[in-house]
Structure formats: C-alpha cells, structure tokens
Amino acid sequence: MATQTTQAELAELSRQLDFEENQFYWLKKFLKFVFLCPVQPIVIKKSGRFIMHASFLFSITITCARAYKEFFINEIYPSMLAELAFQLIAVVGVWCVHLQTIYSENLNVRVRDDRLAWHQRSGEKNTMKVVCERRSRLILIHFGFLLPSLLGYALVPMVLPNVLNPYLPENMTLKRSLCAHVELFVDQNKYFYHILIFLIHMAILIMLIVSALDLAYTSCITYVMGKIIWIGDVFEKLGEINVSDQSPSSKRKMNVYVHRTVIGLIKRHQICLDFSQKLNDICSPKFFISIIVLLNLLSLSGSMAVVEISYDASSAAKMAVAFVMILILVLVICYPSQLLIDASNDIYFKCYTSKLYEYPARTRRLLILMMTRAAEPCCMTIGPSVPLHFETASSVSLDRHKHSFFLTSFLNVECIYSSTRLCPTLQRWCHFAHSKPIDFSHLCMLCNEKIVQV
C-alpha cells in the first residue's frame, strides 16, 4: 500500500484511464464551446454569447407575445395558456442556469485547476478504472435519454402525421403542427419549416447546455467518489492485518505503518471534502434554479395531462410524456450526489470494521475522528442547506402530486368558465369563485342549469 509508482506507470495509467489530462482537456473544450469561457479570444466570446442570448431572448419574446394574444385578444383558453406557461418556464429556466454558469466561470477554472492528481498508490489504479467505466456508462445513459427526448419532442408533431395519415381514415387524420406555440409576423403555414428549424435550433441549444453541465458535474462527482472509494478500500485492507500474532518488534513496526497510513488517508479525505465543497459552491445555485423550474413544470404538466384528456388527447399525451420526463430528470439530478453519499457512508463502516481495538491509542483516536467526520457524508445541496439525494426526489414527487391536484381543480373550473358562455349565472359565479372558497354543490347545480338551457 505504501509502494510508490514510477513515472512510467503513472503515464501508462493516464493512458489507460483516459481521465486525467485527456478527460479534463475534452471537458474544457466542451465547456468552452457551450459557455465560451474567458480563455477564448474576445471576439469569439462576445459574438458567441450574443448569439446564445439573442436566441433565448427571441424565444421568450415570441412566447410572451403568443400568451398576450391568447389571454387579452382571443377567448381565454386554459390549456393553451398552460402550454405557453410550460414553454416559457422551461426556456427561462435554462437561460437562467446558462447565465449563472457564465458568471461563475472563475469558480469553474479553480475547480478544474484543483483536481486531485493522485494515482500514487497501488490498488488505486483498479479502483479508478472501475469508477471511470461506471462514469462513462452513466454519461452515455444520460445522453441516450436526453438526445432522443428533445429531438423527438421537436420532430414528432411534424413527422407523425406524415407517417400515419396515409393509413388513417379521412375523419381521423392528424394535423401537422409545431412542437411549441409561437407568435411571429409571418404566415406559419407558409413558413412552417423555417419556424421548425428555429425550434430545432433551440432544442439543440438547450441540449448542449444541459449536456455540458451534466458531463462536467458527473465527471467531477465520479472522480472524487473514486478517491473516497479507494480510501474505504484501504481501511478495509487495514482490517485484514493481523497484529496480535506477530513479534513485539514486528508489531511495533506494523503499528507505526498503520498510524502513518491512517494519517495519509485522513489528509486525502480532507482534500476530497475540500474538492466537494468547491464543487458544491458552483453547483448549488444551479440546482436551486433547476429544482424550482422542475417543480413548476411537474405541477403544470401533471395537472394539464389530467385536464386535457376530455378536450385534446394529443395535448394530454404531450403533457403526460413531459411529466414522466421531468420525473426522470429529477432522479438523474439526484443520482450522482446519492453515489457520493453512499461512498462516504462506506468509509464509516469500513473504519468500524478495521479492528481499531488492536491498534495503539493514538491510532484509535484518528480512526474515531475519521468515523465522526464520515458520519456526516459530503453531498451536493440545493441552495444553502437542502441535501440532494433520493429522499429529496421522493419528497419533490409527493409534494408535486398535491399541487397538481389543486391546479387540476382550478383548471377544471377555468375550462367550465371558458366553455359556458351561454350561461350568465355560471359566468358570474366563476368570477365570484376566484375570490371565495369553491362550493362544489353550487357548481353542480349551475352546471345542471346550463345543461337544461342547452
């Protein structure tokens, strides 16, 4: 365990793992391409950021223009307004995360320069190789989920009618449509493909931003997780050392070796904690924005999937798919932090089983110190204090179901209001219901009155 590796072995290790210089080189290139870090020439940085900001601002503007037209000019149509709200929240949320990432780029450079360049002990090579393979599979799963989802969301509303209409009866044909609602000063039927290209451009832009953040975050998390796992493995090997059956001189030398090894492991664990804290300082504001956006989208999509079943099956299906995708995305965000928590908890149990009662008092004190610190595992947080793990994802899902139920009830009342223009009594009651508690028995009586009038 204390054997130092040679420079040739380190070089071979770097080539095998493709993690140290090569990994961070391509990660830096990808982040430069998406976020245009300050190491780029000033002209490229300014022009690239202008194009990205202009794309987001244009998308936000045309979405707000369509919402204004639907709300103030046309009749109030809750499902259309809900889809526009869903679209607006998603675009604004990704743009805010993008802005926050750009203006925290100094922290990004600091973490990238402070990476844990160890690989100096035997056994760490195999541990980091397994962790790197796991990270690669995790990133491929994320990309495999994100790429088909966003491109499918952009292309299916146009491709599906062209594929199914030749085989459907004339009264059941599907209408070609765009994936998002826009309001431009052009004929949308005539310039359909031009608008579609812009929407695909926005989908790819969002995909690049989310993918870059996911790649950077997952790489850093699995990197420090591999170091923590290796520390736990060394503690486990310390428990396999049999000190009691050795001679006094050998026992004394072994105790000195174990004591120095424990000191080195504690120092490395402190470096891991410092690295994790720096990473959390960068990611915590982005997680806060992302979770707030996902909470609103989850409530909106879940409620609209229920409300739209009776009115528009295609819109209900789109909202249902969005609801499932957002739930999966919440789990994807929480999963790397949960891996880090599990690795930190593993150190505690391996310290406990390392036969600390056979070591001298000074070594036992160090092991107890390590166990005390490992009892509070390092993890990512949402904002200043909320931990990011599977329990948080579960509570988010349960809370959103309650809010979706309330929003579904509200939208049902709005749908009744917008579809019953012939009943002045019900119309007045719906105005009254916005400021007073809803009396569902009164609502049922008024609905019966409406049916009789029709």
Q: Taking Cα atoms as reference points, which of 242, 268, 228, 231 lies closest to residue 355? A: 242
Identify the pLDDT of residue 34: 76
55-92 pLDDT, tens digit per residue, is: 999 999 888 888 888 777 766 566 777 788 888 888 99
Identify the pLDDT of residue 255: 76
Query: Distances from the Cα of 408 to the Cαs of 310, 412, 415, in angstroms?
Result: 13, 6, 10
Q: Determine the Cα–Cα distance for residues 235 and 347; give it in Å rounded to an integer.
A: 8
pTM of the model: 0.72
3-state DSSP assignment of residue 381? strand
Identify the pLDDT of residue 25: 63
**Residue numbers of the chain with a pLDDT score lower than 50:** 1-6, 9-21, 113-119, 405-407, 409-411, 413-454
* Partners of 387 in beta bridges: 381
Identify the pLDDT of residue 396: 67
Residue type, 62: I
Q: Are 382 and 284 in contact (CB under 8 A)?
A: yes
Helices H, strands E: what count in the chain? 13, 2
Token readout for 46 is 């300014």
